[in-house]
Structures are given as structure tokens and as C-alpha cells.
Amino acid sequence: MSRGYRVEASSRSNVNIEAGHAWPELPWKAWADTAATLHMWLQIIGKIRMALASKQNHWWHVTLYPTCTGLTTSPMPYGNRHLQIDFDFIRHRLIFQPNDGLGYAFELGPMSVSDFYRTVMETMHRLGLPITMHTLPSEVPEPIPFEEDHRHAAYDPVYANRYWQILLQSSRVMDQFRSRFIGKCSPTHLFWGGMDLASTRFSGRSAPEHLPVPFTPLQVVRTAYSHEVSSCGFWPGGPMLPEPVFYAYAYPAPPGYAQAAVSPSEAHFKEELGEFILPYEAVRTAANPEQHLLQFLQSTYEAAADLGKWNRRELEANEEDL
């Protein structure tokens, strides 16, 4: 059950980020079960945000954001009250903080999705913030309703922490990349449907109607891709691609995009996904991981913008402005 808590300053932690280890290993096989469970937990909290937050273009109101301890919903309105829910991947707990009183938290550990969902719903009721949601997970094959999911129950705190560390470091670099663009651009945020961190640039032109995407509601797809984009992000891996990767794609992909020369050398176009990918391991082990990733982000954007004839002079910041 949830319990009241008070936040206290502490120098103690079960995490020690050593110098040079800001980009930890994340082998898919070692954490696949934890990833599958965490994916469902993120969806449950993400659906609370989707229910409470005011709608924004391209579904930006549903996302989560990396913090210094994990992931947050940011403040969500509930009438004239507000609530923030945070995953803490250092002390491994889920924290509920309303703006008008003491919050609650419960520990994260091996726990079924069903038990996690029940505890979250009980905590919301205890806070006087009851909520209902559509309990079928999004963007996954053979979804199991949250309240019936006893299959996914793994939680390895080491790998949950590593996933968060990578999100935080990736967000830092992606925000640096984002600062170079003065056109319409999304925040750097986590989409819980795919469990991926993303940032998207827009040309300013509308796009052709998107075709259906497996396991994703058509309304979601067509709202997300109503306008031309060049998008990039980090994906922790999955059964289709069992390794963590950075990715980049354009919609609509201009002629010649798949054949474009991009850097660094480990980057390549994956036909099955319709995206450029750069293995996370190539970034992690590079002499300068930040520059390695920035090369990928910049070169894939330039391929989309140049081949798509974007007005780069109007959309990009001058060097002296940075």
C-alpha cells in the first residue's frame, strides 16, 4: 500500500555514477523482462497524464520528461488542484505529490502490472483524485489489460536506473541539438507508447495523410504526422530490434533519403523500420559520445531538410545566436 512521505535531503543513494560512466551499458537480453514490465508501468502513469492534461498538438500533452532522479508527468491539473507523479530510479519508488498536502509513495520492485495498476488507482483515490482510464496498453502486439496482466512482473533496479541515466544524457544532447532550430520544434520528451525519447522538427508545411501503423490508433498517427517532420530519438530496444539505438526519420521521406550519406560511420538506414539508426553501443564507447550523437542528429536532419527542400535559412539559428 502507499504511504505518506516527507522529502528529506540525503547523501545516500544506491547509485554511484562514476566518472566516465555517464553512458552505461544496456544489453537488451539482460533487461528485456524489466523493460517489458516498466513499459506497462509507464503507460499507466502516462494515461493518467493523458486524461488530466490539456490537449496539445501532436499528442505532446501525454508525454513524460526526464528529471534528476527519474521521469515525471510534470504538474497535471485536477479541477483547481494539481498533481505530479514521479518515477524515482535512484531510490526506486513512485511518488505522488499534490500541490495542497502531503504526498504518497510506494516502492518499486518486482511487481505485476496488475498489482502496480491497483496500487496506483488506490493511491489516486486516497488522494481524493479518482480517475478512470482505458486499461488496454497502446502500441504493443497482443495487449493485456493492466488489471489482468500478471505476466509482466520483473524489475531489476540496476537496469531501470541505467535506462534513466541514458534518457537523461540523451535529453541533454538532444536539447543542445534542438537549440540550433528556431522553427516549430517539439520538447525532448518520452512517448510511453513506444518507450522512446523523441524530439521533432517541423518544416512548416502540411504532410500527406499518414497510412495506418500497426498497433497504433489511426487518429494518433494522423494527428502526430499532420505536418512534415524530421524526428530523432532514443529507443531502448525490443523484440523487433533487440538492442538500444538512436534513430532518425523523415515524414514524408523525400526521394533519396534512404540513400543519403550520414555520419558517424556506424549509422545506417534500416529498411524494415524506414529509419536511420545508430547503435547506442557505438555512442557509449566513442571517445566523445556527445559529439558522436550530435553528428548523427545533424547529418540525418540535413538529409531530410536538404532533400525535402526545407527553408533552412528561416528555420535555423545563426551561430552567433547560440
- Per residue in 67-108, pLDDT (tens digit) is 999 999 999 999 999 999 999 999 999 999 999 988 999 999
User: CB under 8 Å to 150, separation ≥6 — which residues?
Assistant: 112, 113, 114
Per the rule left: phi > 0, alpha: psi between -120 and 50, beta: everything else, 162 is: alpha
Helix (H) or strand (E) holding 250: strand 245-251
Q: What is the pLDDT of residues 31-69, one digit of tens each?
A: 999 999 999 999 999 999 999 999 888 889 999 999 999
Separation between Cα atoms, residue 174 and residue 268, nearest integer Å? 19
Is the per-residue pLDDT at 23 higher than 60?
yes
Whole-structure pTM value: 0.92
Residue that has been written with the C-alpha cell 497504433 in this structure: 216
Amino acid sitting at position 39:
H
Q: In Å, what is the CA distance from 62 to each residue of 48, 55, 191, 312?
A: 9, 8, 7, 29
Q: What is the pLDDT of residues 135-188, one digit of tens each?
A: 999 999 999 999 999 999 999 999 999 999 999 999 999 999 999 999 999 999
Residue 321: the pLDDT is 59
pLDDT range class, residue 6, cuts 50, 70, 90:
very low
* 194: helix, strand or coil: coil
Amino acid sitting at position 177:
F
In terms of C-beta density within 10 A (0-12 exposed, 13-18 middle, 19 or more buried), how is residue 124 classed? buried
Is the per-residue pLDDT at 134 higher than 70?
yes
Q: What is the pLDDT of residues 262-301, one digit of tens each?
A: 999 999 999 999 999 999 999 999 999 999 999 999 999 9
* 60: helix, strand or coil: helix
| Domain range annotation of the chain | 25-148, 166-321
Separation between Cα atoms, residue 124 and residue 51, nearest integer Å? 13
Q: In Å, what is the CA distance from 99 to each residue of 68, 76, 128, 294?
A: 20, 10, 12, 38
Evaluated on CA atoms 80, 89, 36, 238, the torsion sign reads: positive
Evaluated on CA atoms 282, 283, 284, 288, the torsion sign reads: positive
